[in-house]
Chains A and B, each alone.
Chain A
Amino acid sequence: MAVRAAVITFPGSNCDRDMAVAIEQVVGAPALRVWHGDTALPDRVDFIALPGGFSYGDYLRSGAMAARSPIMRAVVDAAGRGVPVLGVCNGFQVLTEAGLLPGALMRNAGMNFICRTAALKVENAGSLFTSAYRAGEDIRIPVAHHDGNYFADAETLDRLEGEGRVAFRYIEACNGSQRNIAGVLSENGRVLGMMPHPERAIDAAHGGVDGRRLFESVVASVVAA
């Protein structure tokens, strides 16, 4: 069964092609491309990816405008039906602004744009996005962001930790994120937001392939469903 994956493009997205290529390489079929102004997703979508970039020029707050764009109503509805949704970088910011994930992503604590490969620890290898990793495994995934400083109140952070919803953690402090959180899962585990870019680590030519298993995990989950 071919996995039907959709990649949403907002004005100012710039990792949508990388995301589509990564999905195509792992899935073996082209990703469906969806424009922010569309009001519906393609039929029978198995997986939705929100890419990185600077949607709407980061006006107001990163992800704020994109989260209120027409397609996001359809994405929120699909997430409500349990369709897996991945948001990377700006996509993570959009998911928090849309209320699909808790917390907010603020300006990096050091004020600088950070562009490098980050070491991450896989905290939860039981989710549909992480099942191909080993719990506690160290992986290397590139980060490139200005607003990746994850913030939530202490009560929310405790709940996330207690429910195994921290998917990935930076092994060394990266951007000021509370508890070094790099990626968080929704309550039902079917929405993942992360600042690092797994789609930039799927081919040896990228300098690493540690991102590939994230997409393989999703495919395995969809095929098994």
Chain B
Amino acid sequence: MKVRVHVSLKPGVLDPQGRAIQHALEGLGFDGVRDVRAGRMIELDVADETTDAALDSMCRQLLANMVIENYRIEKVG
């Protein structure tokens, strides 16, 4: 089973990388980019019987830092 874990900074946490990307886009002449938030996508190939609880636990224990990040699990088949 292929699973994508999308890790993003929590709302309100300053994202220096997103801000730098936003400035770079402005530098390239793209107007109207109001905000950029950078995250991370982690693709896993796990045994089909892997439970949702186990996936959740992987995210909480390692893939995301719950102090600053949220995660979303997407099963892609």
A60–B67 touching, CB < 8 Å = no
**Interface residue? B41 (CB, 8 A):** no
Residue of A nearest to B66 (CB): A104
* Chain A residues within 8 Å of B61, by CB: 68
Pick the most buried of B17, B19, B68: most chain A CB atoms within 10 A of its CB: B68
> How many A-B contacts if CB must be within 8 Å?
37
Chain B interface residue bracket vs A: 10 to 19
B17–A107 touching, CB < 8 Å = yes
11 contacts between A and B (CB under 8 A): A102-B67, A104-B68, A108-B16, A110-B16, A111-B16, A111-B17, A111-B19, A149-B16, A151-B14, A176-B14, A176-B16
In angstroms, Cα B67 to Cα A151, docked, is 8
**Interface residue? A64 (CB, 8 A):** yes
Using a Cβ–Cβ cut-off of 8 Å, how many residues does chain A contribute to the interface with B?
A: 19
* Chain A residues within 8 Å of B46, by CB: none
Looking at chain A's contact residues, the main secondary structure is loop
Q: Please list the residues of chain A having a beta carbon within 8 angstroms of any beta carbon in chain B.
A: 60-61, 64, 68, 96-97, 102-104, 106-111, 149, 151-152, 176
The 5 closest A-B pairs by CB, nearest first: A104-B67, A107-B16, A104-B68, A111-B16, A111-B20
* Chain A residues within 8 Å of B19, by CB: 111
**Interface residue? B54 (CB, 8 A):** no
CB of A65, distance to nearest CB on chain B (Å)? 9
